[in-house]
A and B are shown apart, each in its own frame.
Chain A
Amino acid sequence: MAPFGGWEMPISYASGTIAEHMACRATAAMFDVSHLGTVVLETGNAFDDLQRTLTNDLGKIAPGRTQYTHLLNRDGGVVDDIIIWWVSENNIQVMPNASNTDGVLNALNGGRDITNERAIIAVQGPTARSAVSKVAPDVVRIKRRTVAEIQCAGVNCTVAGTGYTGEDGVELAVPAGDAPRVWDSLLEAGVTPAGLGARDTLRLEAGLPLHGHELGPTISPLEAGLGWVVAWDKAQFVGREALQSQRENGVQRTLVGVATVGRRPPRDGATIEVNGEQVGIVTSGNYSPVLGHGIALGFVAPQKTTGPCEIRVRDTVLSGSFVPLPFVAHRG
């Protein structure tokens, strides 16, 4: 177990990070992601409040759909990256990262924090849906990026076709007291429990950003290659002026993927070099269980994003090359 944003989280279960990772790619794995916050907005103003605050356009979706979006600061930096579950007309659930729930509550002028009332179980992988259907037959209704209330193991749950692994799958918000029973029934259905370690290596292979690494208060969505999260059609959202200026003047750095030769993991903080000259820095790196070599995300000067490069880890130089993201194709 390891402390994580005020929660005690398992790094791995008995089978170990790599076996858990491969189970998610080959069959189905489940993660306890209860540390994600949930703030429920139930008033008629919720839609307008979110539109004025967050970068994405909620008008592009409707009740029963989900959306990935950002909360920025005035400088255009990412305070948090958020998933919205628009469950029904007057039930919009805003899900920030573990430690950012209070900041999001402040930015939204209220909302009800129900984080401690529910657990969230993410079931991910090519057989995730068929496994979940054994305990929740209605899961067939939950298409990618949709959300609905259905019964799981006899309990009313809110279930969304979302995830953070690059695989198909669903996330189940379960009343906290019923979570052990739902977890156990999924275990019986053959789903492999997986910890934070596999969650991180999976999202890294999928090229998905982690707040505190590829996103943060001094990193803009444009730098992180997430321009699609920004709805320029909207006249207002927090940070729009700063981001507009960055859009017009160009970014100073851009997020890239680097594949390295050999098994040695590149690590957060290592330098990225081209012909011996530093061009950037690694923000996340590890060994890729699927590819069998090192992979890294990092920021480099925008003109240095193709061809060979090296990553310097302490006194060792790993040869590598810039590669398109994701490292492992999404199937969800």
Chain B
Amino acid sequence: MDTPSDLRYTSDHEWVRIEGDVATIGITDYAQDALGDVVFVQLPSAGSTVKATASISEVESTKSVSDIYAPLSGEVIEVNEALEADPSVLNSDAYGKGWIFKVRISDPSEISTLLSASDYEDLLGKS
């Protein structure tokens, strides 16, 4: 499984790329592999406010549905609308074109609750 070292992670198998006060969020390589072919992503609403750990999106594959949780609190400033036409990029490019939404971080102290790449790999090793 690919786990880029410059990203942060959650135990719910989301990745977080932090650039300034903006966090870009998607699902990990492990998550996309476990889900199988993704056929639908319910995007959060741009402009909405989210709280860390709240369920804000759903990803559906041919075999199951999975909740996406907000890793950090803040305002959703952008969603990846290209996923509406082609959600399969979550499988083919989970850390790139498969990003789901961006949040303007309202509480930077929450960042310390996220996992490092090596923490996340340890978590996968145990599961």
- Interface of A with B (CB < 8 Å)? 11-12, 16-19, 197, 200-201, 262-265, 267, 286-287, 316
Report chain A residues within 8 Å CB of B62: 17-18, 197, 200-201, 265, 286-287
Complex A-B: 19 CB contacts under 8 Å: A11-B36, A17-B37, A17-B61, A17-B62, A18-B37, A18-B62, A19-B37, A197-B37, A197-B62, A200-B62, A263-B40, A264-B40, A264-B60, A265-B39, A265-B65, A267-B65, A286-B39, A287-B39, A287-B62
Report chain B residues within 8 Å CB of A200: 62
Report chain A residues within 8 Å CB of B28: none
Report chain A residues within 8 Å CB of B88: 18
Report chain B residues within 8 Å CB of A201: 62
Task: Tell whether A16 pairs with B36 under 8 Å between CB atoms, given A263-B87, A265-B60.
Answer: yes
Dominant secondary structure at the B interface: mixed
Q: In residues 86-110 of chain B, which contact A (Cβ within 8 Å)?
A: 87-88, 91
Are B36 and A265 in contact, with the CB atoms below 8 A?
A: no
Are A18 and B39 in contact, with the CB atoms below 8 A?
A: yes
Known: A201-B62, A264-B40. 10 other contacts (CB 8 A): A11-B36, A16-B37, A17-B36, A18-B37, A197-B37, A200-B62, A264-B60, A265-B60, A286-B62, A316-B42
- Write the nearest CB–CB distance from A294 to chain B, whole angstroms: 8
* Nearest B-chain residue to A267, judged by Cβ: B65
Are A12 and B39 in contact, with the CB atoms below 8 A?
A: no
What is the interface size of chain B, counting residues whose CB is below 8 A from a CB of the partner?
A: 14
- Does B126 lie at the interface of the complex (its beta carbon under 8 Å from any beta carbon of A)? no
Report chain A residues within 8 Å CB of B60: 264-265, 287
* Mask of B59-101 contacts with A, CB within 8 angstroms, 1/0: 0111101000000000000000000100110010000000000
- Write the nearest CB–CB distance from A22 to chain B, whole angstroms: 11
Are B63 and A17 in contact, with the CB atoms below 8 A?
A: yes
Q: How far is the CA of A19 from the CA of B42 in the complex (A)?
A: 22
- Write the nearest CB–CB distance from B36 to chain A, whole angstroms: 6
Are B36 and A12 in contact, with the CB atoms below 8 A?
A: yes
Report chain B residues within 8 Å CB of A11: 36, 63
Are A16 and B63 in contact, with the CB atoms below 8 A?
A: no
* Mask of B22-51 contacts with A, CB within 8 angstroms, 1/0: 000000000000001101101000000000
* Most chain A CB atoms below 10 A, which of B42, B60, B62, B65: B62
* Nearest A-chain residue to B83, judged by Cβ: A263
Task: Tell whether A265 pairs with B40 under 8 Å between CB atoms, given A17-B63, A197-B63, A287-B62.
Answer: yes
Q: How far is the CA of A276 from the CA of B123 in the complex (A)?
A: 45
- Write the nearest CB–CB distance from A284 to chain B, whole angstroms: 12
Q: How far is the CA of A16 from the CA of B34 in the complex (A)?
A: 11
- Write the nearest CB–CB distance from A330 to chain B, whole angstroms: 21
- Write the nearest CB–CB distance from B83 to chain A, whole angstroms: 10
Q: How far is the CA of A17 from the CA of B60 in the complex (A)?
A: 13
Q: How far is the CA of A17 from the CA of B42 in the complex (A)?
A: 20
Report chain B residues within 8 Å CB of A18: 37, 39, 62, 88
- Write the nearest CB–CB distance from B10 to chain A, whole angstroms: 22
Are A263 and B39 in contact, with the CB atoms below 8 A?
A: yes
- Write the nearest CB–CB distance from A201 to chain B, whole angstroms: 6
Top 10 nearest A-B pairs (CB, nearest first) are A287-B39, A263-B40, A17-B62, A18-B37, A264-B40, A16-B37, A17-B37, A197-B62, A265-B60, A197-B63
